[in-house]
Amino acid sequence: MLFNILLSAKYNAAISFLFVFLQVNFKGRTIGYRALGRIHSIDEPWVYDATAWDIDSGIKAKVKHYIESEEAIQDAVKEVITKLTTQGLLQD
């Protein structure tokens, strides 16, 4: 019953099946990241969203609607690195 209700709600609810959480070290910073796969629509049944964040500062970036989880993760991590660079928080 609940599954049918979730499927009938247009784009308001996503059913999540895949969750990945890892971290990478970049120029003295530890950046955590995760990718979440979800059902999107009949035309694009499966997409990935990703979040990356700097562990120390909490600076975060979210990206949505990617076909490949790796691509979503790369873009989210790049956004965090850009934010860290802008704020002068990266070591040379």
In a domain, 57, yes or no: yes
Q: What is the CA radius of gyration of the chain?
A: 16
pLDDT in the model for residue 64: 97
In a domain, 69, yes or no: yes
Domains in the chain, number: 1
In a domain, 92, yes or no: no
How many angstroms separate the Cα of 60 from the Cα of each of 45, 50, 51, 81? 27, 11, 7, 10
pLDDT in the model for residue 11: 40
Could you read off the pLDDT of 36-92 as tens digits, one per residue? 999 988 888 899 999 999 999 999 999 999 999 999 999 999 999 999 999 999 876
Q: What residues make up the domain containing 12? A: 2-86
In a domain, 80, yes or no: yes
Q: Is the confidence at residue 12, as pLDDT, over 60?
A: no
Q: Which two tokens stand for residue 36?
A: 């979440």
Give the C-alpha separation, 71 to 58, whole Å.
22
Do the beta carbons of residue 69 and residue 37 sit within 8 Å?
A: yes
Do the beta carbons of residue 32 and residue 53 sit within 8 Å?
A: yes
Q: Model pTM?
A: 0.76
In a domain, 91, yes or no: no
Q: Is the confidence at residue 3, as pLDDT, over 70?
A: no
Average pLDDT over residues 16-25: 68
pLDDT in the model for residue 56: 95
Flag the least confident range among 2-11, 20-29, 48-57: 2-11
In a domain, 32, yes or no: yes
